[in-house]
């Protein structure tokens, strides 16, 4: 197997493991979220994103909590906003 094929296979394996694991490392969490390690660090330091530090140094993340955090700030579509405006206008 060529070195390039091995690298691709390793990346695919890492991605599959990352989506199956319940607890992720910082590296895995940054890949899972699609953000840089620097961005993830800023999110943890500002206590914006849920994380765990069992030994006071390394950060760990629960995949389900990351999913909830990602989905927590839904932006309404123009149609939904229009429907709300019409509904509010009809209640007067």
- pLDDT value for 88: 86
Alpha-carbon span 8 to 19, nearest angstrom: 17
**Domain limits for position 84:** 3-90
CATH number at residue 79: 1.10.1660
Cα-based torsion angle of the residue sequence 68, 74, 12, 24 in order, rounded to the nearest 10 degrees: -30
- pLDDT value for 19: 66
Does the CA dihedral 16-17-19-25 come out positive or negative? negative
Q: How many domains does the chain divide into?
A: 1
Q: DSSP letters along 38-78, please?
A: HHHHHHHHTT-S--B-TTSSS-EEEHHHHHHHHTTSPPPPH
Percent of the chain surpassing pLDDT 70: 89
- The tens digit of pLDDT for each residue in 13-58 reads 766 765 678 999 999 999 999 999 999 999 999 999 999 999 888 9
């Amino acid at each position: 197997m060529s070195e390039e094929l091995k690298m691709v296979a390793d990346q695919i394996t890492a991605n599959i493991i990352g989506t199956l694991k319940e607890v992720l490392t910082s590296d895995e969490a940054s890949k899972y979220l699609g953000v840089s390690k620097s961005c993830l660090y800023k999110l943890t330091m500002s206590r914006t994103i849920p994380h765990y530090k069992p030994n006071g140094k390394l950060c760990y993340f629960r995949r389900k909590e990351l999913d909830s955090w990602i989905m927590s700030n839904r932006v309404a579509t123009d149609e939904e906003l229009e429907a709300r405006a019409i509904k509010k206008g009809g209640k007067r």
